[in-house]
Structures are given as C-alpha cells and as structure tokens.
Amino acid sequence: MCERILEGRKRKTKNEEDEAMGFADFGGYFESKKAKLVDQFKETAGNTNVKSNIFKGIAIFVNGLTNPNSAELKKLMAEHGGVYHGYQMSSTTHIIASNLAYAKTKNLGSVPIVKASWITDSIELRKLLDYKRYILFSNQSAAQPKLNFPILPGGENDIAKETEKDSLGSVKTVSSSPEIEKSRITKTASDPKFLEEFYNNSRLHLIATMGAEFKQLVGQLREKSDGKFLGKELLLSKGNPSSKRTYSSVVMHIDMDCFFVSVGLRNRPELKGKPVAVTHARNGQISSVRPGRSAEIAMNLERAPENIVEKISNLDSHSSMSEIACCSYEARKCGIKNGMFLGTAVKLCPGLKTIQYDFQGYKEVASTLYKTVASYTLDIEAVSCDEMYVDVTKLLNDCGVVVDQFATHLRAEIMEKTGCPCSTGFGANKLQARLATKKAKPNGQFYLEVDDVETYFSEIPLGDLPGVGRATLSKLKNLGLVTCGDVQVSSLSILQSELGQKVGETLMEQAKGIDKKPLNFHHERKSVSAEINYGIRFKTLEESYNFLQSLSQEVFNRLNDIGMKAKCLTLKLMVRSADAPTETAKFLGHGICDSLSKSITSNVAITDVKTIFKEAKQLYDKFNVPFEDLRGVGIQLSKLEKIGPTSSVMSNFLKQNSVINENKVTVDVIPSNDVGVMKNKQEVKQESVSVKNDSKKNSINTLNKKETKSKRGRPAGTKTKAKGNVKSKTSPSPMLDKYLKNMGTPVKTNFQNIDMGVLYELPEELRNEIMKEYQLQHQVITKKSGEREIQVADVKPQPSELKQKIEEKKSPFDGLSWEELKPILKTWMTSEADPKEIDVEMISEHFRQLAIDRKIENLKVIFNFLHRTFEKLNCKWHNAYFSIVNTTQQGMVARYGGTLMVERRFSCCK
C-alpha cells in the first residue's frame, strides 16, 4: 500500500472539497520536495489560477537558494493570494531564505527572515501558519518593535523580546563566532525557557504524564462513585439476563489502534488508508549535513546492540532523525515501525505522509475513552492514555450479555464518541487479555477462551510477551528459544540462571498463559522524577547549575502536586562517552553516552526545592563531570511518604516562595581533611558574616520573614548558615549543648551535611575534635556579589554506635513531655540577651514535627506560654516567636490543611 513518490503523477482523487478548493495537486507536491517532482511542477508553472487566499496581505522577497526555489515560490504566492517581490521593497512583509550567513550579514530592517517551508506548510495545511515557528533569523531590534505585516491571532509578538534577549546574550559574549550566532536561534537547556518548550513538544513526556494522570483519575472516580453506571444500564436493557452464560473471570484489555495517527486522522480523512506517520519533521531529508553524524554511526555500527544498529543502518547524511511517534497500519506494511527515524522510514516508503502532533486531541480522546468505559464499571486498571485493563466479569453476568456482544457494543460506542478505532482482547487474566488484543488488532475483538489458552500460547513468539524486550529476547534466542511453546518445555533452572531468579520464573508462567498479578485499581506512586536527555549543551558551569535548579523546581512541583515528600534523591547524568564525537548525529541529541547515577538517602524527608537543589548539586559536584560533556540530566525522588492534604492557597504560596533566587553561583572548591586549612577558612567566614550583617541588618528578622518559608522539613542536623554574631563563636549556646548531648553532633547518616556555621559556634577544641573524628571536607561557595560563605561539609561514614543514636532520636526534644520541655525553654530564654538562630530553628522544627505527628494537644498551651514569656523580652525574641509559630503552622497546614489560632502580636512591635 506504500504510495511511491513517482506515483505522484497519477495522484489519487482527493475528496470533493479538496477538488473545489483546487488543492488536488498539492498532496502530490508535498509528498516530496525532491528534484524529480519539482521539475514536474515547473512544467505546469505557467498557469496561475487562484486556488486560495491564505497569503492575503503577505509579500515575500526570496533571497538566495531556497527549496522550493524562487520561481516556484512566486507561483505558489500567486496561486494563494500573496505577492511576490523580485527585490526587497518597503512593503515586503517576509523574506524567504535558507542561508543563515545572509541573514547575519545583511541589515534588512524589521522584516523577518523565514524558511520556505512556512509557505509550503501553510499551503499543505490550507491556512496561514504562524511564521514565527519558521524564523530563520530575527534581525529586528528592540527599538523597532512595530510590525507592518499581519500577525496571526493568538500569537503574541515576541520577536522584539527575542531580539532583546539576543542582544543581551551578545553583550556577555566577547566574540561572535558562527556557533554563538547559531545558538541564538537554537534553544538548548541553557535557555531558561527550554524546559517548558521541550515539555510542550515531547511525545514521551506526554505519554508518561498522561499515563500517570489516568491512573490517578481512576482512583478518584472510584472514591467518589455513586454506584450508578449509565452505560451499564443501557447495556442491561439490551441483554438477556434469563438466558445468560455465567463467567467466572473475564478481563478485558482495551487498546486504541495507532493512537496518535487515529486522532490526527480525524481532521484529515483524506489520508485514511494511506501510510501516515506522526513526526515533528515534515521531510525525510534535512538540508544541511550534520557534522559528526558519520562518526557516530560508525561507532554505533561497531559496538551498539543490534536494534540500534538496525535503526541507523539505513541513515545517510541527509536523513531526518526525527522519530516517528506513531504510524498507520498501511505504513507498518512497508516495514515502518514506531520510533524509527523519519529518514529511514521514507526510504522504506517514499509516499509516507507525515502529520503533526495534536497533543490536545490526544488528551480529549483519551479522556472520552476513559469516561466511556467508566460508565460501565470502575474496575479499571489504567495502563496508559490509550490502554487499560477492565474486570468485566460482574458486568457481563449482571447484564446477561456475552463477551462478543459487549465488545461490539463498546467498540462501536468508542468509535462513535472519539472517531477513533480500538481493539479489545478478553481472557481469564491480564496476560491472556493482552495477547488476545494482539490478535484482535486492528479494529477488532477476540476472546481467548480457557480451553484454547494452551494452544494459543504455544505459538506466541516470546517477544510478544510483556516484559520480554530486546535484551531478554536476545538471551532467549541464544538458548534456542523462540516461542512460548519452546519455553513451556524448557528447564526453569536454565531460564533462571540466564535471566535471573524472578524473571525466569515469571517467564515460565507467562509462556503457559499464567498471570498471578491481579488488576490494580488503586495506584500508589513510588517515585517522582524529571529528566532531560535532549538539548543539553552547557557552555559554562554556571549554566549547568542553573539548569539543575530548574529541574529541581520541576521535580519539586511534581512532588508537591501529589502531596508527598521524599527521603531519597537520585541524580542521573548522561555523559558523552570518552571516544564519542562531540557533535551528535541527531540535532541536539545525546549521542553515545555513559549513564551515571548517584543517590542520597536521609532520615528526614525532603519537602522543599532548596533542599532538592542542594542535594542534587552536591551529587553533581561529586561526579565532577566536565559540563561540556553533559548530555542528559535527571533528578528522581523516591522513598516517598504522604504528607497531609495542603490547601490550594497554601500549596500555591509554597510553590511561589520555594523558587530559588540565588541562581548565580560559581564554585571554588577547597577539598580538605586538614584541620589546619579549615582554620584559615574560619577567617573567611568571619568576613562573610560582617558582609551579611551589613546588608541584612537583623538575621532573626530575615529568618522570620523569608527563610522559614522554604525551610519546611529541613533534615535534622542540616542547619542553615550561621548568620549572626561573631561573638557567639566563643561561647557555645546552652541549646547547642543540649543538642549535642542528645545527638552526638548535628549530622545525618551516611554522607550528609554538617553546616560549618554550626561548627564555628563551638569552642575550638570541641570543633577540632569533631572535625577530626568525622574527617570533614568542605566546599566554599562564592556568590557573584562577592559575598562568601561556607556552605557544607562532607562527612565520611560515622561510627555505627552514633549512627544508631541518631536514628533513634530525630530531634533532641523528641519524646520529651511539655513538662520536661518547659524548664529547658525557660533556661534558654533567661540564659542570653538575644536568641540564637540555631536554637530557634531547632525548636521550630520540633514543633513542626509535633504538628505533623498529630501531637497537638499541648500546642495551644505551649504557644500561650511562649507568648506570655516572650512578651517580657526584646523584639529579637519576638521575631524568634514569629519564626517558631510560622514553622509550626506549616506543619499544621501540611497535616490538617489549616492553621492553629495563636496570638500573633506583641504590644511593642508592628
């Protein structure tokens, strides 16, 4: 069914609307921008009958070589209501060019320079597309923001802004090499907007996030279900409960047929029955050769696994490496597969049509699909946006319909409501149902009855089993096993020794059609992550830190959205392999890489961005990877725990306030186990304290107003920088004494942080002792402003006795009753003139935890007491009180979704 490129001459008749619009010829044209057809097109270029008006108001001037060339563009403009200028005039609205050098060197005023594909794509889609997506180079200056050409509705004119950004960028850069020019129009991860833009265009991101959303949706629907099922009621009226067959267990697997294509074809009916693929690129060929492509291909051929080799074997220097997200069954007949590069696919099937992504459409159809199924039963296990398992046993028995009747009924309904075909498979368990679907596809249904299971499975190729992918398949092939039948009669122990204990066992069961896993209607998240392995090209260390920060924010938002906190953070990096070419075969791809990961586990959960960034950065620094070789970055949070429901107001508040603003950091690493060196650093720190005090007036005040917002859940023992008071260095606080007595030192398990500020609060002797015992290393972070501060110390594994102690006692006040705590607090308040930040934090943290642990009986009493006592002290103490209250309220909000009523005023302040 492949439509060959040369068949363009005897083009098939389009639908009537197309004929009337005069578009009959364009399908053929756009099948290729290849020379042969371009020539053919030229022959007919004489007649200029107007076919549409899409370029009304547009006047183009074509510079240099373009594809299609200027003569063709002239004709196209004439046919579609536009104007063609032989040279640039004041009324020229767009310049069409493909040569970047031209765009750079010419000063053409405020006319956008746009790729020719803007014209061709607009014609193909029969509407004027937003030219901004086709800009080759923007030469408008911020001083000339006015546009004298039509702007499409919805598209904000951000050209001026872009240019401004460009000029800012060039201020920073000393020279203006071609690479830098290119990077201006190329969004890499160095661009602050990259993350958003990438996610808006990533199919894999969409698949992953939609899958998670529908799993969550099913859970929610089940919780608030009223037990009424409209679809079921209708089915009941059609069924015949008296002459029913009773089923013992029927699982339905339902899967949309080539989902993305089906959704896309709803608006392109003329492409039905043709080989169609969904891709970002429009053409199988790219105009310029990518440097390094041949080198990467050669390297892959040498060492990559079979499937990678297969994927690149047909590529040449001009093939598009845009991936096919989904292709139609007609395309599959030519050997095209999902995930294949467009360049490769076009070689297999030159008539392949490409259609654009329709992310909104996917969401709508998926939503309708779920809604439809949910009108029959909520015994649904969501697999992804277009696939689910449904336990229909009860439904069938209740309604008195047989499997086939139900399948026909449901599939017709889905087709009617979504306009997209689906297939359904039925069996006694998930595995059987899934493999039944395989036979049902496309657009069909199949019930694998119990008696047929053994025979059916014996013929199934092993690669069809869920969980058997490339690697497993190749191992099995080496064992001489090809079908499930082969595995059925092979030895379990051999399978297990080759594949592993569990995998071997599961495989043996699967081969026989056995699946012990029940349907999972309630899904519990075990991890949250965000990773980007595309567009990572850092030019400075700072850029890489900034990206890590954006990613921290992203992953925090996701954690926050599901109302959880995490005890484990993993940083994943993809790094260019030692001998891999610097230029990747694929534009902004990751190329040949090594994958690395490191994780950190703490005994107190992470609940804020700041900590996420801090930990991620620490791990990143530990890898010590040259930032230029970085090709991928990911942050994963695991060991999740639920936090109580947070009100939406509070949630938004926390999100806003958790954004890290200190985004300009450079690093000056001083690794050392030498206490002597640390002494020197002490002096550095004193300097930094004085700077800080100058700029921030009152440290407690700062703590109260800003910092506590992002300090939720700071791990015990990870104290913040000591900002105050050089004097305190010589006299340790009684609270710290108490703390040290209970905790040993404020450290976490494994490689955790000690804040150097805390150490400098200690008497020198004690400090040296601690540092010796824990073999401290530390880094000095220098801020751009010139401020210096010591951030963290790295701790080697500690004596196990101490570790145990720490695990037993999270807070120094843990387990103390109010009666026991009260005198301690009293002593604290009378021991010093001013409160110490570290003490305030410890107490705040303790009360926050009390709130979270629902131990609130005493909190009101405590706050009354605190308020009464603090009233007699100075305003620094009052601020300390506010800080304690604020932190505790965060715990209240997290736990109960509301705050505790406490006194928030003192007569002397505010």
Partner DNA sequence: ATCCTCCCCTAC
Partner DNA sequence: TAAGGTAGGGGAGGAT
Which of 109, 500, 626, 799 lies at the binding interface for DNA (CB under 7 A)? 500
Stretch that binds DNA, among 279-287, 418-426, 486-494, 752-760 (CB under 7 A): 279-287
DSSP state of 323: B
SS3 (DSSP) at 80:
coil
Sequence-distant (≥ 6) Cβ neighbours of residue 910 within 8 angstroms: none
Residue tagged 């003490």 (tokens): 839
Residue 384 contacts DNA per CB under 7 A:
yes
Residue 522 contacts DNA per CB under 7 A:
no
Check if the beta carbon of residue 718 is closer than 8 Å to that of residue 615. no
Site string for DNA, 249-278 (x = CB under 7 A): ------------------------------
Cα gap 494→488, rounded to integer Å: 12
Site string for DNA, 549-578 (x = CB under 7 A): ---------x---------x-x--------
User: Smaller CB distance to DNA: residue 466 or 815?
Assistant: 466
Which of 88, 141, 170, 209 lies at the binding interface for DNA (CB under 7 A)? 209
Check if the beta carbon of residue 103 is closer than 8 Å to that of residue 136. yes
Strand partners, 824: none
Cα gap 207→212, rounded to integer Å: 9
CB of 626 to DNA, least distance (A): 17
90 burial type by CB count under 10 A (0-12 exposed, 13-18 middle, 19+ buried): exposed
For helices 492-499 and 470-478, what crossing angle results, to 10°? 130
Rule CB under 7 A: which of 791-820 touch DNA? 797, 800
User: Smaller CB distance to DNA: residue 332 or 558?
Assistant: 558
Cβ atoms within 10 Å, residue 35 = 9
Element housing 665 (H / E): strand 665-668
Residue 625 contacts DNA per CB under 7 A:
no
Residue 99 contacts DNA per CB under 7 A:
no
Is residue 387 flagged as an active site residue?
yes
Cα gap 740→725, rounded to integer Å: 20
Cα gap 141→162, rounded to integer Å: 9
User: Smaller CB distance to DNA: residue 235 or 256?
Assistant: 256
CB of 334 to DNA, least distance (A): 19
Cβ atoms within 10 Å, residue 682 = 15
Residue 332 contacts DNA per CB under 7 A:
no
CB of 285 to DNA, least distance (A): 9
Element housing 425 (H / E): strand 422-427
Tell me the pairing of strands 422-427 and 251-256.
Answer: antiparallel
Rule CB under 7 A: which of 129-168 touch DNA? 133
- List, as residue ranges, the binding site for Mg(2+): 255, 386-387
User: Smaller CB distance to DNA: residue 528 or 840?
Assistant: 528
621 burial type by CB count under 10 A (0-12 exposed, 13-18 middle, 19+ buried): middle
Site string for DNA, 579-618 (x = CB under 7 A): -----xxxxxxxx---xxxxx-x-----------------
Task: Give the chain's length.
Answer: 910
CA nearest neighbour of 411 among 377, 446, 384: 446
Instruction: Give the active site residue among 3, 323, 381, 387.
Output: 387
Residue 763 contacts DNA per CB under 7 A:
no
Rule CB under 7 A: which of 302-331 touch DNA? 320-323, 325
Rule CB under 7 A: which of 841-880 touch DNA? none
Check if the beta carbon of residue 377 is closer than 8 Å to that of residue 235. no
Which of 33, 75, 203, 617 lies at the binding interface for DNA (CB under 7 A)? 203
- List, as residue ranges, the binding site: 255, 386-387
Residue 366 contacts DNA per CB under 7 A:
no
Residue 286 contacts DNA per CB under 7 A:
yes
Stretch that binds DNA, among 203-211, 641-649, 671-679, 725-733 (CB under 7 A): 203-211
Residue 265 dihedral angles phi and psi, to the nearest 5°: -75, -10
Residue 282 contacts DNA per CB under 7 A:
yes
Sign of CA dihedral 217, 219, 224, 228: positive
Angle made by CA atoms 492, 497, 500, in degrees to the nearest 5: 95
Residue 416: both structure tokens together:
């009617």
User: Smaller CB distance to DNA: residue 183 or 488?
Assistant: 183
Residue 524 contacts DNA per CB under 7 A:
yes
CB of 283 to DNA, least distance (A): 7
CB of 156 to DNA, least distance (A): 17
Stretch that binds DNA, among 208-216, 263-271, 828-836, 844-852 (CB under 7 A): 208-216
Stretch that binds DNA, among 185-193, 694-702, 786-794, 893-901 (CB under 7 A): 185-193
User: Smaller CB distance to DNA: residue 266 or 639?
Assistant: 639
User: Smaller CB distance to DNA: residue 106 or 205?
Assistant: 205
User: Which residues are tagged catalytic?
Assistant: 387
